[in-house]
Amino acid sequence: MPLSRPIHVLFLCTHNSARSILAEAILNHIGQGRFQGYSAGSSPRENQQPNPLGLQVLQHAGISTDGLRSKNWDEFALPDAPQMDLIITVCDNAAGEVCPFWPGRPATAHWSYPDPSAGPGSDAEKAEAFRQTLHAIRRRLELLVNLPAVKLDAMVLQNTANELAQS
């Protein structure tokens, strides 16, 4: 049975500048029209922008960066926001925070990835960390987008997303 609309997935992190941005862009690239990715942060800094190394790695992988921007998660709790089906935290800090009320009671999961922009290292080392993070996120998202429709039913989505966290 075809879905009436794409499955809306919101990726959350603290600043919405690296991992969540990567996940949004990757899902929109590989989602086959069955998925629509979004990203947001619990506390993006003032004038926060996506990490330039993350954008560079996405572009090098042939993934569009058009329209990517850092957003506060409050945007997605507004009445006119798209209703989410699945919310995935991609950093440990955001996973432990008190989230806003999400309309529609979406499924939730935590997929932990280290912050590729954190710590010391040359730009080349950080770019490699971004590439590794991109590939790790992409592997898990490819499993998600290739699931049969029965695994994406609202009642099953919660368990499916949590099982993928173990992949």
Burial of 89 (0-12, 13-18, 19+ CB in 10 A): buried
Residue range 152-159: mean pLDDT, rounded:
72
Q: For residue 9, which of 117, 164, 167, 166 has the smallest C-alpha distance?
A: 164
Domain ranges (residues) in the chain: 7-160
pTM: 0.88
Asked if residue 50 lies in contact with residue 20, where contact means CB atoms within 8 angstroms, the answer is: no
Hey, what are 125's tokens?
A: 């080392």
Which DSSP string corresponds to 26-91?
Answer: HHHHHSTTTEEEEEEESSPPTT----HHHHHHHHHTT---TT----BGGGGGSTTSPPPSEEEE-S
Asked if residue 48 lies in contact with residue 69, where contact means CB atoms within 8 angstroms, the answer is: no
- Label residues 97-130 b or e (16+ Cβ within 10 Å = b): eeeeebeeebbbbbbebebbbeeeeeeeebbebb
Task: Report the C-alpha gap between 80 and 4 in whole angstroms.
Answer: 19
Amino acid 44 reads P
> What pLDDT, on the 0 to 100 scale, is given for residue 159?
75
- What 3-state DSSP class applies to 15? coil
pLDDT in tens, 27-66: 999 998 999 999 999 888 888 899 999 999 999 999 999 9
* Whether residue 1 has pLDDT greater than 50: no
Most confident of 12-26, 39-53, 70-84, 110-124: 12-26
pLDDT in tens, 98-141: 566 667 788 888 999 999 988 788 989 999 999 999 999 999 99
> What pLDDT, on the 0 to 100 scale, is given for residue 63?
98
Question: C-alpha angle with apex 16: 12 to 20, nearest 5 degrees?
Answer: 50
Q: Which CATH number fits domain 7-160: 3.40.50.920, 3.40.1190.20, 3.40.50.2300, 3.40.1160.10?
A: 3.40.50.2300
> What pLDDT, on the 0 to 100 scale, is given for residue 57?
97
Using the 8-state DSSP alphabet, how is residue 152 labeled?
A: G
